[in-house]
Amino acid sequence: MSPSSPGRLFYATIFLLVSIDFLQSGMTAFAAGPLMGELGMAPEDFSFATAVYASVAILSISMQRWFVERLGPRRFVQYTTAICAGGAVLCAISDDFSSFLAGRAVMALGGGALFTSARMMIHHALVGPARFVGIKYLVGGLALNTAAAPWLASLAVSHERWSAIYWLLAALGGLVVFLASMVLHNRPLVAQEHRSEPDLWPQIILVGGSFLMLYALQRFYYDFYGNVLLIGMVMALAVVGLMFYGHTQHVGDNPILRVRDMLNVRYVSGVALFMFIYTMLGANNYMIPMTLQRTLGFGWATVGDFEALGFAGGTLAWWVVMRTLPRHPSPRKFLVIGFFALAVFGALLSRIDGQADMWRDILPALAIYSVFLPIVMPVAAMNTFRELEYDESVFANAQQMKNMLAQIGIALGITLATLGQQWRTTAHYAVLNERVASNDPIYVEIFQKLQESLTNVTGAVPAAQMATAEVAQLLARESALLAHIDYFGLVAVLGLAGVLVTLIQRVFR
């Protein structure tokens, strides 16, 4: 996708494409609360916008190869990045839910395939050591922008300039449009007779099924107890639609995604690994700020600063892996280290209490977690697609399929985390409330101290009512904290399970 001798500008383009993708998702997710407040959105509205973005992104990713074959690499990257930048401008100037939704949909239409484009630039234009340099820039963009996103979002919102989130993305998009004109060519990738020919209806079913699945996953958080049957029916319809789409791509003579040619043990195993990674990414991106902000009560800007500081450890992991991997390419040891880091992260946060200190208890856990993605992701990528490099079209389709599933994996992680949080919070609250009702000495003492301290100010009757309300709030906070401890304990178990599976599996050795 580039001239024969790519230089620094080519690598910078790869880095910026990845930066736009990870910054937009990270900053939007971290700033969800302030965005809802500024634009008058209910949580359900934000979930709807998230589902729309992901479903449009899935459609965009599925069509990436088809458009590149017809537009050429340069025009495709320029057009999609310009569309994404235009959507970012719409978000920046939006003043209500409808305008923000429109902006996010336009961003997804252009930005959904940016990461895939960056990866295919590496595959098409770089060989030998240069290809590994391209991988360095791609993974470096992932690590650096995962750390930068919460800090930039908190910086923008704390200065009451939330729109700066999207103006930054628009500026980066404009820079990529300029760079693409210098580093990418427009030569056809394949002859016209070998181009894929998609049928319109399967693509409509793809975007419809994706939206229904993602929307149902989002709605589980709000309507699980009230409309569980309806949500289940929507989910079933979505699964049927997506299975039908997969079938059309598997049996078609010249499909847009050559699924039949991808199905080997290595690729399927790698996609399963990626699904786990993205599911954990979605769940942790939701649970970490939830734990720090709502349960432990740290300030929003403080959480952003410490997340950025902790996740900066991922850049060190990236540097070490990129120096070590060429000399010692066996993936097993890297996967063991990555999953063990995930387990340690979960174990550390499963031991916190209401008096947790950011420097002593939280930052070390975040720093250890930050090495998970930069270690596991590049190793998984280098091994998942190894048997598909013989055919450029199949390789591109395999990348598209993986990135389409990533959108679902992130949404699935958020849903599982929210449902688990609801379940465990309710269970813990019932147990704690029973202890209060049975006159547990600890809570009786707390109630009496609160009542005594308030009586001098408000009188006996109001003091009793206020003390009761304060104890109820205490129960809610303790229940939420215990639920989060349960979650991070599960993360530790999953990390150890990942270590065990890595040691016994025979695919990635």
Mark whether 99 and 243 lie in a shared domain: no
Mean pLDDT over the full length of the chain: 88
Confidence category of residue 412, pLDDT binned at 50, 70, 90:
confident
In a shared domain, residues 261 and 251: no
Q: Evaluate if residue 81 carries a pLDDT over 60.
A: yes
177 neighbors 117 (Cβ within 8 angstroms): no
Domain C-terminal end among 255, 275, 302: 255
2-41, pLDDT tens digit by residue?
444 568 899 999 999 999 999 999 999 888 888 988 999 8
Asked whether the CA dihedral 415, 416, 417, 420 is positive or negative, the reply is positive
Residue 328 and residue 388 share a domain: yes
Greater confidence (467 vs 428) lies with 428
Q: What average pLDDT does range 364-372 have in this prediction?
A: 94
Model pLDDT, residue 2:
45
Between 100 and 65, where is the model more confident?
100
What percent of the chain shows pLDDT beyond 70?
A: 90
Mean pLDDT check: name the lowest of 92-101, 163-172, 251-260, 464-473.
Answer: 464-473
Q: Determine the length of the chain.
A: 509
CATH number at residue 58: 1.20.1250.20
- Tell whether 57 and 145 lie within a shared domain: yes
Q: Identify the pLDDT of residue 129.
A: 85
Does residue 284 carry a pLDDT above 70? yes
For residue 189, what are the domain limits?
1-195
pLDDT digits (tens, 9 = 90+) for 476-493: 888 989 999 999 999 999
Q: Who contacts 250 (Cβ-Cβ below 8 Å, separation ≥6)? A: 259, 260
Q: Give the mean model confidence (pLDDT) for residues 403-432.
A: 87
- Whether residue 407 sits in one domain with residue 268: yes
365 shares its domain with 330: yes
- Coil vs helix vs strand at 350: coil
Q: How confident is the model at residue 344 (pLDDT cuts 50, 70, 90)?
A: very high
Q: Is the pLDDT of residue 99 over 80?
A: yes
Q: How far is CA 267 from CA 387, 432, 507, in A?
A: 8, 47, 10
pLDDT at residue 92 tops 80: yes
Q: What is the CB neighbour count within 10 angstroms for residue 196?
A: 18
What is the separation, in whole angstroms, between the first and last Cα of the chain?
Answer: 31
Q: Are residues 15 and 31 in the same domain?
A: yes
Q: In this structure, are 72 and 214 located in the same domain?
A: no
Q: Are residues 291 and 403 in the same domain?
A: yes
Boundary (domain end) residue, out of 173, 195, 217: 195
Q: Determine the pLDDT at residue 194.
A: 60
pLDDT band, very low/low/confident/very high, at 450 (cuts 50, 70, 90): low
**Domain closes at, from 212, 232, 255:** 255
Average pLDDT over residues 105-112: 95
pLDDT of res. 199: 73
Output the domain CATH number for residue 462: 1.20.1250
How far is the CA of 165 from the CAs of 23, 111, 170, 316, in angstroms? 9, 15, 9, 26
Token representation of residue 162: 């939330």
Mean pLDDT across 102-109: 96
What is the number of domains present in the chain? 3
- What number of H helices and E strands is found in the chain? 21, 0
Three-class secondary structure assignment of 366-389: HHHHCCHHHHHHHHHHHHHCHHHC
Give the least confident one: 15-24, 127-136, 171-180: 127-136
